Structure formats: structure tokens, C-alpha cells
Chains A and B, each alone.
Chain A
Amino acid sequence: QVQLVESGGGVVQPGRSLRLSCAASGYTFSTYGMHWVRQPPGKGLEWVALISDDGRKKYYADSVRGRFTISRDDSKNTVYLQMNSLRPEDRAVYYCARDSRKWALDYWGQGTLVTVSS
């Protein structure tokens, strides 16, 4: 069965960096694109980034473009989100999700919490 497990969340000061990881299992990782989606406390879901199955195409929300970088390591079945210049408004639960290849996100992880605070 498909499993996605995020890690790397924690408390970080404004302006600092953090790298999230999402380990995938139960399917052929290299043949699917991967998304990151976040949910600030008490708010709705916000799409963050997408990386294509071959890693060549990357797309970002305006709110994170230039600060966040999505990448993948198919040898480790892992997708990453490098978050630089973090702001208090980046505080959220961050989910990774698989792109279904049918214009949807079909499997999601349980999320990892990022808190940006001095």
C-alpha cells in the first residue's frame, strides 16, 4: 500500500532555513510527480509546490517562489522541500502528496508541523 511519511518539521527562527523530507513506499516512486501542500493553524489547505516525475519541472505558489525549493532523490524514494528565509506566516502543517496523473492528489502523508518563531 502507498505510504508517505513526512519528517523534518520543528521550531525555527524567522529568516532561518529548514528542510522537510517525505519518504514514499508501496509504489514506483520515480513514475509519479509529488506535491507539497500546507495548512496554517486554523486555516485551509494551500498548495505549495509540485515536482514532475522526472524532476525536470518544478512549480511553486507565488507565496514561496524564490524561497522554497522542491527536489527529489529517486534512489531514496524521497521528495524534499528546502525552505529558506522562513517567515512567521510559513507556520503550518506541511503535507506531501502524490500526483495521481489524473489531475488530483491521490495519496497524502500525515503532515509535519513547522513553527517559525523567535
Chain B
Amino acid sequence: DAGVIQSPRHEVTEMGQEVTLRCKPISGHNSLFWYRQTMMRGLELLIYFNNNVPIDDSGMPEDRFSAKMPNASFSTLKIQPSEPRDSAVYFCASGPQDRDNEQFFGPGTRLTVL
């Protein structure tokens, strides 16, 4: 199993640009989570999906952030326009139906907004 795949692994962009982060969950998993990790705020849940449907997006910081899951094998997190304070590591995680809410994390995307 390839595990959760995230792309790109590193992204450097300038303030005001649109950023799209991508995630491919583990096949067969029905839950998908987007997290943001910073030194100051730790690990924050941004949004999670179950069976491709957004369940809770209360962690999305602003309207500049949006997430989609068009099918069971792909999700995106978009920031438009990006700001320097969005610089962080963004993790995608997926989880199977029958594993007691266990989550499998991807390697993360390190985003730097200049």
C-alpha cells in the first residue's frame, strides 16, 4: 500500500497567489482530514470528509480557504489569496470505517508564503 500521498511536498509562493494542495487517500478509506501544523498553534484540524461529504469545516480559518473531495480518491485544499501567515505544514490523513477512528497521515506539504 502506497499510503496517503500528498503533493507537492514543498511549495513556495508569493503573497496573493493561489495555492492548491492535493491529497490521495488510502484506497478503501472513507474518512479524510486536512490539518495544519505550526510551531505556534500546533496541529489544527481544518476540515474533514466522510464518504466524500464535508462533515465539519469549523476549523477552516477564513473564506480564503476551501476544500473539495470530488471522489473517493482525491481531495484538494485551496488557499486564495495566500498570505504569509498561511505558512505551515499541511497534512492530509485518511481513515477506514472499521478501525476505531484511527488515522493514517501523509508526509505533509510544507507551504511557505513570501
A and B from one complex: no
Instruction: Report which A residues bind B (CB closer than 8 A).
Output: none
Instruction: Report which B residues bind A (CB closer than 8 A).
Output: none
